[in-house]
A and B are shown apart, each in its own frame.
Chain A
Amino acid sequence: MPEKPLSFQDLILKLHDYWSRQGCVILQAYDVEVGAGTLNPATVLRALGPKPWKVAYVQPSRRPADGRYGENPNRLRQHHQYQVILKPNPPNLQDLYLGSLEAIGIDPRVHDIRFVEDDWENPTVGAWGLGWEVWCDGMEITQYTYFQQVGGLDVFPVAGELTIGLERLSLYLQNVDSVYDLRYNDEFTYGEVFLANEQQFSAFELEVADVEVFKRQFEDMEKQVPRILAARGRKAEQLVLPAYDHVLKASHLFNVMDARGAIAVAERQSYIGRIRDLCRQCAEIYVAQQGGNA
């Protein structure tokens, strides 16, 4: 490890630099609320169809139920995921990944890097894949997945996905215990940047959010998806990208209702099923637009 560990910001910049050199498009975060970097259309939709794709981006990921009012040192309602997609995954993806670890100062000759079985799935978008969680000295630092299905459809060629929880990795690199003590850069701490955000949104999402309004908005979004998909653009194309935005909005609204404790156990599966159906409709149309069978 270098003398002075990377700041949160430098960690991102190093990763951007590394993956940019591998030919990845460096995207800005998607501007609709998502629960995970995977849900960004640059992953979910681009993993579908026959066209190659290489991308890396940081995605702020909102998990309302994990809100702890900024009082827990490592649980956050919004954390940042570093997401890499290489499609088709090159045969040396593991080596490329290990190269990225060296680029951020993790030397695999003094740290114990392990690939431990972990089969990833996200039922709300009907996606699953096989891969590992990658451990560094016993800590999970990456979710490494070869997508097999997205939106309930088989994917081919296969995309390799790397998801890194940036806060957790940064805690490890900087050797501090609380996320709020992380150096964001040389002048600001993570707490100075995000603590108020955690405090206010935790209160909002766990106590204040108006469940009735959220429920109504969920149903609105749900109705919008087929309506948008039924319309046509200038080239008679189906408007799958805006439709998918509405799926994401529905998904986030559901997450807030869930955090408010407004979803009964019996209802949960049905909500998840409704989102998955919407996602599937988008996935099928997207694939057709790409000119692929899956």
Chain B
Amino acid sequence: MPQLLLELFSEEIPARMQAQAARDLERLAREKLAGEGLSPEALRTFAGPRRLTLVAEGLAAAQAERHEERKGPRIGSPDQAIEGFLRSTGLRRDQLVERDGLYFAHLHKPGRPTSEIIAEMVEAIVRNFPWPKSMVSGVSKLRWVRPLQRILCVFDGEIVPFQIDGHLAGDLTTGHRFMGTGQAFQVRNFDDYADGLARNFVVLDPEERKERILDAARTLCFARNFELVEDEGLLDEIAGLTEWPTPVMGDMDPAFLDLPPEVIRTSMRVHQRFFAVRDPQTGFLVPHFIAVANIEASDGGGLIASGNARVLSARLSDARFFWNEDRKVRLDDRLEKLKGVTFHAKLGTMYARVERIVAMAGELAAFTGVAPQDAERAGRLCKADLGTGMVGEFPELQGIMGGYYAQNEGLDGALVEAIRSHYRPQGPQDETPVAPLAATLALADKLDTLTSFFRIGEKPTGSRDPFALRRSALGVIRILLATQVRLPLKSFASPELIGFFADRLKVLLREQGQRHDLVDAVFALGDDDIVRIVSKVNALEGFLGAEDGKNLLAGYKRAVNILKAEEKKGALPSGEPNVSAQAEEGALTNAVGHMEVELGRALAKEDYQAAMRALAALREPVDAFFDKVLVNSDVPAERENRLRLLVKVRDAMERVADFSQVSG
């Protein structure tokens, strides 16, 4: 079946937008084709620096003829209504079909040629493409991410005839900007296209570009017994900057190795898009780098390597200047400067934020087991590096530079570590600070962020979370779990913020494959201690996964349903069950009594495994009770006693969790 090939050829598309553009192109094409009743057997898209490409395989040459039955007015309706229906369908009265007392119109739409549909589709997609930022150029009002240069559109070997703002669709494309012939070449199908591009030094598929970069870069390193410092984000970006990626190894002046490795790596990555290189034995950086050029230079890349090395030297000289200057001023003496830095219009200066972090860290100290004055000192110094030249140049080194400068001043190792790691964890892969002082400061930083922004009503909504509050809340949870610090969140957070923590905890547990309804069930009891909540949830998960748990949950739900129904008839009887008209009733009464004692002990010790064992002991007597005993006995005293017994079962179980929120 016929194939569609579309290429939107433009000036250089920002690397960060390419992957999404490929996804958007695929989605929009699928939607439009489906809307016209066309379903390709396969549809793929590719994005690169200068082209967005789509290939759809197995499209019909034309739409199928379409039949539609449209319901009309009732037979015998006023002529006006019937005339209206005839007008809207374009039929005569004798062409209508009568059924079930109604008129129906049977409409036949001949299928349109697919190329006609493609032309409309491409125009609609190009005119409404969801670029994050787009522009106009020259005398054209057509918006595109950068000037659109050419449209290639071939269906079943033929050009699809259309034009968009003067761009006539054709069957020509060009290869690499500098390598290859530089001449446009003709393309009739995807194989032609892919071959032609390969011959003209363009790797179409971004995944293939990434593989080529990694393979070649690793090989260059391996040949000299080095190891590439891999960097996923950098790799993605470079694959978006090159059509013919060609790694070259360059040399760095070894004198720069006295700079902190984070500085060297950041300068390489941010300014130059270089990969760093290290010694696989020691893990230390070596004085080389991998730059990825977009050409295979005719001189073998010597000029490219030396040119890049010179630029890196200039950059690292700047970095060294900051490193030397910054170390002349103590962190303490930088605090005044924070008074001139606005943190947020409604939250005051960075200095005010430091004051809040100091207070928060001091309060947290009691729970994390560090001396309050140590926690306060860490809070006082943690933002001082924001005034340094290095952090001004590389904001992503905040904290890390503070750590270096603190170390340079000879400050205590725990304090250095706390300053260095207080922004962590920054993502799911990032390390969580666990040393007591580091954990305290990291908690203080995040809790101040959360309480402050919640106080001024800046809460995340939908996908909008400009202050990364979700990440902060998740960070708090991860630190508490990693350190097992018992923190009563209610002393620090509003009920709204507690709810926000509950949501984050659910997301975290769900990601770990656990049941989030159990978080609701435990939170419903009003607990605000993350460590205790998670250990309860874990115990519950094990319990409810086993036979006893499942059955007991069913028994609980049955009990609650009965109680709900009976409650409607009047208040439930209070007091202890004391009659045992039937053996099963007596057995359950005894079991509940025994269980309450066991459960009380277990909960007091926070031994939730033991608590679950205590609950499990109820399973048999509960099953037997429901099996043999009729709650709604005709004898009022029996009924009341049995209701009392069920209330007792329910209440005892709800000391562990609100089982009504548990699904299943």
By a beta-carbon cutoff of 8 Å, the part of chain A in contact with chain B is: 74, 88-91, 94, 108-117, 119, 129-132, 136-139, 146, 148, 156-158, 160, 172, 264-265
Instruction: Determine if B307 and A138 form an interchain contact, defined as CB atoms under 8 angstroms apart.
Output: yes
**What's the minimum C-beta distance from B135 to chain A, rounded to whole angstroms?**
4
Instruction: Determine if A108 and B295 form an interchain contact, defined as CB atoms under 8 angstroms apart.
Output: yes
Instruction: Determine if B304 and A146 form an interchain contact, defined as CB atoms under 8 angstroms apart.
Output: no
By a beta-carbon cutoff of 8 Å, the part of chain B in contact with chain A is: 11-12, 14-16, 49, 133, 135-139, 141, 145-147, 149, 177-179, 241-242, 272-274, 291, 293-295, 297-299, 303-304, 307-308, 310-312, 314, 340-342
Instruction: Determine if A111 and B303 form an interchain contact, defined as CB atoms under 8 angstroms apart.
Output: yes
Instruction: Determine if A139 and B138 form an interchain contact, defined as CB atoms under 8 angstroms apart.
Output: no
Per the bound structure, the CA–CA distance linking A90 and B140 in Å amounts to: 11
The one of A112, A116, A139 that contacts B295, using a Cβ cutoff of 8 Å = A112
Instruction: Determine if A146 and B135 form an interchain contact, defined as CB atoms under 8 angstroms apart.
Output: yes
Per the bound structure, the CA–CA distance linking A119 and B147 in Å amounts to: 14
**What's the minimum C-beta distance from A101 to chain B, rounded to whole angstroms?**
11
Instruction: Determine if B135 and A265 form an interchain contact, defined as CB atoms under 8 angstroms apart.
Output: no
Instruction: Determine if B303 and A137 form an interchain contact, defined as CB atoms under 8 angstroms apart.
Output: yes
Q: Which of A112, A119, A148 has the most CB of B within 10 A?
A: A112
Instruction: Determine if A157 and B307 form an interchain contact, defined as CB atoms under 8 angstroms apart.
Output: no
Instruction: Determine if A88 and B138 form an interchain contact, defined as CB atoms under 8 angstroms apart.
Output: yes
**What's the minimum C-beta distance from B252 to chain A, rounded to whole angstroms?**
12
Per the bound structure, the CA–CA distance linking A181 and B557 in Å amounts to: 87
**What's the minimum C-beta distance from B81 to chain A, rounded to whole angstroms?**
50
**CB-nearest residue of chain A to B149:** A91
- A111-B307, A172-B307, A264-B340 known; A91 and B138 CB under 8 Å? yes
Instruction: Determine if A139 and B147 form an interchain contact, defined as CB atoms under 8 angstroms apart.
Output: no
Q: Which of B294, B297, B307 has the most CB of A within 10 A?
A: B307
Per the bound structure, the CA–CA distance linking A212 and B170 in Å amounts to: 65
- A130-B146, A148-B136, A157-B139 known; A137 and B295 CB under 8 Å? no
Instruction: Determine if A108 and B178 form an interchain contact, defined as CB atoms under 8 angstroms apart.
Output: yes
Instruction: Determine if A139 and B14 form an interchain contact, defined as CB atoms under 8 angstroms apart.
Output: no
Per the bound structure, the CA–CA distance linking A288 and B145 in Å amounts to: 30
Cβ–Cβ < 8 Å partners of B308 in chain A: 112, 137-138
**CB-nearest residue of chain A to B306:** A137
Per the bound structure, the CA–CA distance linking A113 and B366 in Å amounts to: 59
Cβ–Cβ < 8 Å partners of B12 in chain A: 115-117, 132
- A112-B295, A119-B133, A156-B136 known; A137 and B304 CB under 8 Å? yes
**What's the minimum C-beta distance from B105 to chain A, rounded to whole angstroms?**
49
Per the bound structure, the CA–CA distance linking A125 and B239 in Å amounts to: 35
Instruction: Determine if A138 and B272 form an interchain contact, defined as CB atoms under 8 angstroms apart.
Output: yes
Instruction: Determine if B311 and A91 form an interchain contact, defined as CB atoms under 8 angstroms apart.
Output: no
**CB-nearest residue of chain B to A119:** B133
14 intermolecular pairs with C-beta atoms under 8 Å apart: A88-B137, A108-B177, A109-B178, A112-B297, A112-B308, A114-B241, A115-B49, A131-B146, A137-B308, A138-B307, A148-B136, A156-B136, A172-B310, A264-B340
Instruction: Determine if B340 and A265 form an interchain contact, defined as CB atoms under 8 angstroms apart.
Output: yes
Cβ–Cβ < 8 Å partners of A110 in chain B: 297-299, 303-304
- A113-B178, A117-B15, A265-B341 known; A138 and B136 CB under 8 Å? no
Cβ–Cβ < 8 Å partners of B272 in chain A: 138
Cβ–Cβ < 8 Å partners of A130 in chain B: 133, 135, 145-146
Instruction: Determine if B307 and A148 form an interchain contact, defined as CB atoms under 8 angstroms apart.
Output: no
**What's the minimum C-beta distance from A217 to chain B, rounded to whole angstroms?**
26
**CB-nearest residue of chain A to B178:** A108
Per the bound structure, the CA–CA distance linking A117 and B17 in Å amounts to: 10
Q: Which of A117, A158, A172 has the most CB of B within 10 A?
A: A117
Cβ–Cβ < 8 Å partners of B11 in chain A: 94, 115
The one of B146, B298, B307, B341 that contacts A109, using a Cβ cutoff of 8 Å = B298
Per the bound structure, the CA–CA distance linking A65 and B273 in Å amounts to: 28
